[in-house]
Amino acid sequence: MERYGPEEVKAAIDLVDIFERDGHVMRRVGTSLFCLSPWSEEKTPSCKVTSDYYRCFSSAAGGDVFNYWMDSRGCDFPTALRQLRAIAFGSEDAGGAAPLPKVKKRAPAAPKKEAKPLAGEGLEEWLDAHARLAGSQAQRDRIAEWRGYRNGAIDLASRLGLAGLYRYYRLEREAFLVEMPDRGAPAGSGARVPVSAHVRLAPRTRGNDGDKQSWRYCPSGVGSWPFIIGDLASARTVFLLEGQWDALALADCLEWPERGTGRAAVVGMRGSTSFRTFLDHYYWPHDAAAVAVPDHDQAGSRWLGEDGFLAEAEARFRTLIAFTPGNPGDDFNDVYKRGEIDRASLAARVAPALARRRGPRRDVPTFLAWCRLHRDAEGELGAAARMALADKAMPRGRQPLHVLQRSWLPRHGDAGTALLSSAWEAYAKQFSDD
């Protein structure tokens, strides 16, 4: 028995099995296993467990099977080695409990096919697709009118090399570039490389006999990588949506072609089930905030469950807020196309929450203190600032916009509320990185 050292014990024991013997229920998230933290109270599993190591994101605990045994039993290393050796190789010294069956390592899962950078004929086809869209203002205008974009989002996607007209079954189809992180670039650089074109097939056209639109990867088999506008590595605010059309609609809503992306990024997940790729493979600053806009349908509801995308993303971002737009069945593009949301109303909805980021308080003035600095400004900004300061019933301190609107609306009506929203948007732009 004594001839088995620590390495032999580690090689013989599956840590997942040890966790399950201790009563921890494993939940599969993508390709990983998670359980509730053994060291902190939580409702959403945040402790990742593999055959060889564990990492608890809520308590920062982690390590191999010996670390887990010592942390959970409060024993020293020699005791942990003796007891785990007993479990692995059949000794009766199993730490005060009845002898347990031997534990064996599980066979490793077969590696998935790795996506490769787009090259050769595939790259040439995409460059041709991009050139066709970039060279045709009429085609860009057609797509923008169809999707309800008013501020040049299709021009932006074309200019960034993210959109094109791909030839598929001799028809020109709208397509978007599929990218993955550049594994050869420095860690945290945010560099991406193209791996495929994501081509839209309209209903009842060659390649798609169904009544709904369908999508194809060309080349196929690359996996579901997200559609990203902007630089994730420098983003302070990351907008998370379900698809490319929604991502472009939000970029259009934010008027990015004219204003620039600033320190923000928009991510289209290509559906509600492929967020694992985004969480596992992409880098963004640890102090970034996220604004999630799931669709108002069954797929979007899967973002909101206990083990959904937002529950896990909340542990990764400093701040996460979410809202579902419109009526049942709607997505963000539907709501934006109908004119029910614009940049001002979007800022009014998310800026107060972003201004209350978790972590150290930044040196940010209150809204009314900011109004005092702008009371002499010309135009609507100055008018709104003077109205806010003149209203003795306005809440003081750090109040979210809906609190200000609740006290503002009964006395000043719609015109006053519009002025307030305009001033708040300018305030949020300066201090909330919107």
Topology given in CATH for the domain delimited by 6-89: DNA Primase; Chain A (3.90.580)
| DSSP letters spanning 347-386 | HHHHHHHHHT-SSSPP----HHHHHHHTTT-SHHHHHHHH
Going by their DSSP bridges, the two strands 237-241 and 264-268 should be labelled as parallel
What letter represents residue 50's amino acid? T
pLDDT for 252 beyond 80: yes
pLDDT tier for residue 100 given thresholds of 50, 70 and 90: very low
Specify whether the CB–CB gap between 423 and 381 falls below 8 A. Answer: yes
* Cα dihedral across residues 329, 334, 340, 341: positive or negative: positive
Q: Please name every residue paired with 62 in a beta bridge, in sequence order, or none if there are none.
A: 55
Q: Calculate the CA 257 to chain-centre distance.
A: 22
Choose the most confident range, by mean pLDDT, from 12-26, 192-206, 250-264, 280-294. 192-206
Q: In this structure, what token pair is assigned to residue 94?
A: 């199993």
pLDDT for 400 beyond 50: yes
pLDDT for 305 beyond 90: no
- Lowest mean pLDDT: which of 11-20, 285-294, 342-351, 357-366? 357-366
Q: What is this structure's pTM?
A: 0.60
Q: How far apart are CA 238 and CA 232, in angstroms?
A: 7
- Lowest mean pLDDT: which of 43-57, 205-219, 313-327, 413-427? 413-427
pLDDT tier for residue 408 given thresholds of 50, 70 and 90: low
pLDDT at 413: 61
pLDDT tier for residue 228 given thresholds of 50, 70 and 90: very high
- % of the chain with per-residue pLDDT over 90: 23
pLDDT at 94: 47
pLDDT for 192 beyond 60: yes
Specify whether the CB–CB gap between 233 and 321 falls below 8 A. Answer: no
- Kindly report the average pLDDT of the chain as a whole number: 79
pLDDT at 410: 59
pLDDT for 38 beyond 50: yes
pLDDT for 386 beyond 60: yes
pLDDT at 111: 46
Distance between start and end Cα atoms, the chain:
63
Q: How far apart are CA 261 and CA 239, in angstroms?
A: 12
